[in-house]
Amino acid sequence: MLKTSTDAIIDSEVLLCPVCRSECVHPMKVKVATDCKVVVVEPKLVQVIEAETAETREARQERGVRITLEYHCENGHHGNLILQFHKGYTLVLHEGLPPEREAETLWRS
């Protein structure tokens, strides 16, 4: 699921696309969800949503924080890398999403 490489940058690990293993993975959005709110960081917006969402329901069901990194790779893959805390473990999940036509990289806009 979560793959890295040390080939691209010496002394660092680079996240690889979970689909094609490309080293060119761009973060688009980060969500941090607890059982009652979600903090969303997008290229031009940071917001706190204090309402029930799919993310808060998942966090509540698993009884731990849920961190979602939405990404796209330069080969056109788009998805979410999800870190879900549950009973002392941090699970790493992947969710594929439809290709994004105008993918905007976080911190570059």
| Res 7 pLDDT > 80 | no
Q: What is the pLDDT of residues 49-93, one digit of tens each?
A: 999 998 888 888 888 899 999 999 999 999 999 999 888 889 899
Residue 58 belongs to a domain: yes
- The model carries a pTM of 0.85
Q: pLDDT band at residue 101, thresholds of 50, 70 and 90?
A: confident
Q: What is the pLDDT of residues 22-54, one digit of tens each?
A: 999 999 999 999 989 999 999 989 999 999 998
* pLDDT at 14 (0 to 100): 87
Residue 2 belongs to a domain: no
Count of domains for the chain: 1
Residue 13 belongs to a domain: no
3-state secondary structure of 74: coil
Of residues 61, 59, 69, the one with CA closest to residue 94: 69
Residue 5 belongs to a domain: no
Structure tokens at 71: 């990404």
Residue 56 belongs to a domain: yes
Dist CA 21 CA 15 (whole Å):
9
Average pLDDT estimate for 14-28: 92
Residue 62 belongs to a domain: yes
Residue 39 belongs to a domain: yes
Residue 8 belongs to a domain: no
Of residues 79, 92, 86, 65, the one with CA closest to residue 28: 79
Dist CA 35 CA 57 (whole Å):
6
